[in-house]
Chains A and B, each alone.
Chain A
Amino acid sequence: MNNLLIFWEFLKIGTFSFGGGVSVLAVFNDEFVEKKKLLTKKEFMQTYALSKLVPGANTVSMTLAFGKKFGGYTGSFFALLGFYFVPYILTLLFTIFYLAFEPFMNNVAKIVMPAVIGIIAATGENFRKTEANSWPSMLLAFIVLISLVSFRLSTIFIILFAGFLGICWGILKNRIKIPAKT
Chain B
Amino acid sequence: MTSPLNLFYLFFTSSLFTLGGGPALTVVLQDLFVNQNHLLTNQQFLTAMAIGRLTPGPAMIYTVVIGFVLLGIIGSVIALVATTIPSLLIFPVRTLYQKAESSFIVQNFFRGVSIAIVGLIFGTAIRLSNGVISGISDFLIALLSFIFMIKYKISVAKIVGTAFIFGSIYALWIK
Tell me whether A120 is interfacial, beta carbon within 8 Å. yes
- Which bucket holds chain A's interface residue count? 35 or more
Tell me whether B1 is interfacial, beta carbon within 8 Å. no
Rounded to whole angstroms, the CA-CA distance of A154 and B35 in the bound complex is: 10
Tell me whether A38 is interfacial, beta carbon within 8 Å. no
Residues of A within 8 A of B145 (CB): 114-119, 122
How many residues on chain B are close to A (CB under 8 Å)? 110
Contact status of A50 and B149, CB under 8 A, knowing A113-B50, A117-B142, A163-B109: no
What is the number of contacts between chain A and chain B, taking CB atoms within 8 Å?
A: 373
Contact call B87/A56, Cβ cutoff below 8 A: yes
Residues of A within 8 A of B80 (CB): 84, 88
Contact digits for A25-57, partner B, Cβ 8 Å, 1 yes 0 no = 000000000000000000000110111111111
**Nearest chain-A residue to B69 (Cβ)?**
A95
Contact status of A145 and B142, CB under 8 A, knowing A87-B61, A140-B115, A166-B110: no
Which residues of chain B (9-64) have a CB below 8 Å from chain A? Answer: 13, 15-28, 31, 35-36, 43, 46-47, 49-62, 64
Contact call B156/A107, Cβ cutoff below 8 A: no
CB proximity of A18 to chain B, nearest CB, Å: 4
Contact call B112/A110, Cβ cutoff below 8 A: no
Tell me whether B108 is interfacial, beta carbon within 8 Å. yes
Residues of A within 8 A of B144 (CB): 115, 118
Contact call A112/B167, Cβ cutoff below 8 A: yes
Across the interface, A119 reaches (CB within 8 A) one of B16, B25, B160, namely B160
Contact status of A163 and B110, CB under 8 A, knowing A118-B144, A127-B121: yes
**Nearest chain-B residue to A96 (Cβ)?**
B68
Contact call B112/A149, Cβ cutoff below 8 A: no
